[in-house]
Amino acid sequence: MSEKEVTYREVFQRIDALLSEPCDWIAVMSTVVCELHHAFDNYNWTGFYRTVAPNLLQIGPYQGGHGCIDIPFSRGVCGAAARTKTTQLVADVHSFPGHIACSSSTLSEIVVPIISTSGTVIAVLDVDSDERASFDATDKAYLEHLCARLGRDYGHEAELTIRS
């Protein structure tokens, strides 16, 4: 098992322990970004964008420099993940049409959608790196596993907060 996989497993164990007490969706997102962000040197910005209205994402809990507030599903890497309901693994953000540059130091990113059991995208998890091609299939597999669980466990609660 690679060093990265060992780290993901340790992070997930800490997240499981922290989330064993009842807590709401905001507490969950805050805990997840903190644990992930501080576990990996290449995670330079780590955060959630939440669906707050149809086809509109808004900044949620994050770690790193300031993130832009609103992202429509039609824009950026986050919007593409929300619109297509698929993970966006972007090795070079400068070659992604419509990439939204919140920080000029970001060179690569991965954005994973979080989908409720009824099929609604409730949020996306966005991780940005200052290294080129910083994320790979291992990051994708572990982050998708985590986000699938978040969608199953907190999807209904988050759906109730989406404006119609």
Q: Least distance to ligand SME from the beta carbon of 80, Å? A: 7
What is the number of the residue whose Cβ is closest to ligand SME? 76
Cα 110 to chain centroid, rounded: 8
Burial of 47 (0-12, 13-18, 19+ CB in 10 A): buried
* Residue whose CB is less far from ligand SME, 19 or 100: 100
- Of 7 and 63, nearer to ligand SME (C-beta) is 63
What the block records as the tokens of 7 is 């780290």
As given in the structure block, the two tokens for residue 131 are 């290294």
**Given the DSSP bridges, would you call strands 88-90 and 70-72 parallel, antiparallel or unpaired?**
unpaired
d(CA 132, CA 31): 27
| In the complex, minimum distance from the CB of residue 129 to ligand SME, in angstroms, rounded to a whole number | 11
Residues that bind ligand SME (CB under 6 A): 45, 67-68, 71, 76-78, 99-100, 102, 106, 109, 126, 128
Of residues 67 and 113, the one with the C-beta less far from ligand SME: 67
